[in-house]
Amino acid sequence: MSPALHALFWTLLKTGDRVVYPKVSYMAVYRLFHELFNNKFGVETVMVDMTDFDAVKKAITPGTRLVHVETPDNPTDGISDIAAIAKIAHENGAILSVDNTFASPLNQHPLDLGADFVVESLTKYINGHGDAQGGAIISNDLETMDRIRYEAQVNVGSVISPFNAWQIFRGAVTFPLRMERINASTQKIAEWLEQRQNVTFVSYPGLPSNPGHELAKKQMKHGFGGVISFGIAADDKAVERFCAALKVVTFAVSLGHDESLIFPQPSYDERINLYPEKFRKGFIRFSIGLEDPDDIIGDLDQALKAIGL
């Protein structure tokens, strides 16, 4: 769906515009705004902690063209207040786009909360089987949607292959059922991880201990999604050994597949210093799939023991 994000930004922004974007986000958003749109096109790109509403309020000045939000965010599961940010954005004449990939459309409806554009990765929960890539832009602003098609569909290369489209349509039929199961399994696994010794932190919006929990309860429904960000008391090498020792869970990137996928976020990651302090050591992103949650818990436990934790 990166082409969907790119198509949206490419269509909406021009030289001299100001965009406010999150400190923690999907890698393509970070690179597009941190390195490319500013240097190539002269767009003023302002990075802000989107989970800190006071900071967001200060960053959205009159003349801001676009505010981009991702909640829960990738990879720390931070929660931002869509309705409050929509209000401030609109008061300043800005457009709000929301990346809804982590929540999925079962759990969160950003348009109802005031967003102007929603971007979904079809590659993740909607296809759900890890075998096709795609993205979608959703909006009630049909005039701009036509502009996106005209300006970006061909020019940015956002044309899906028919076979991928067919796979995604097939996967989408079972999306709500899969997502309900994933919501429930993830909640159970997050609660287990939180009480396991040698787990240094668990970030999941469904946990009452999470700073974003009350807000997530207000703006999400059915559940809190399928990604847990957590830390273990281990260095980069031991974290890799832990991931490799898992037997039910697959050690691979991406998320929202039928299989559970786990991937370390090592201390040498280019963005590690942008994450809240506790995420800078032993940090792992974990996407829960459709396996029996008790099998997953057993697997996590044996792999922790395998590295002496």
Ligand X SMILES: *Cc1c(COP(=O)(O)O)cnc(C)c1O
Q: Which residues bind ligand X (CB under 6 A)?
A: 1-2, 26, 70, 74, 99, 101-102, 121, 123-124, 133, 135
CA atoms of 83 and 101, how far apart (whole Å): 17
In terms of CB distance, is 32 or 193 closer to ligand X? 32
CB 194 to ligand X: min, Å: 23
Amino acid (one-letter) located at 140: N
Instruction: Using the minimum distance from each CB to ligand X, give the nearer residue, 56 or 227.
Output: 227
Please, are residues 69 and 96 in contact by the beta-carbon 8 Å criterion?
yes
Instruction: Strand 135-138: give its sheet, edge to edge.
Output: 44-48, 18-22, 64-70, 95-99, 117-121, 135-138
E strands in 6-77:
18-22, 44-48, 64-70
Shortest CB 205 distance to ligand X, Å: 14
CB of 122 to ligand X, least distance (A): 6
Q: In a 10 Å sphere around its CB, with 0-12 CB exposed, 13-18 middle and 19+ buried, how is residue 93 labelled?
A: exposed
Backbone φ and ψ of 25, nearest 5°: -160, 175
Nearer Cβ to ligand X (101/210)? 101
In terms of CB distance, is 76 or 144 closer to ligand X?
Answer: 76
Residue 28's nearest CA partner among 57, 49, 52, 7 is: 7
Of 104 and 210, nearer to ligand X (C-beta) is: 104
CA atoms within 13 Å, Cβ hemisphere of 295: 11
Write down the least CB distance from residue 198 to ligand X, Å: 27
Q: CA 166, 167, 170, 176 torsion: positive or negative?
A: negative
CB of 84 to ligand X, least distance (A): 20
Q: 18 vs 257, which CB is nearer to ligand X? A: 257
Q: CB of residue 247 vs ligand X: minimum separation in angstroms?
A: 25
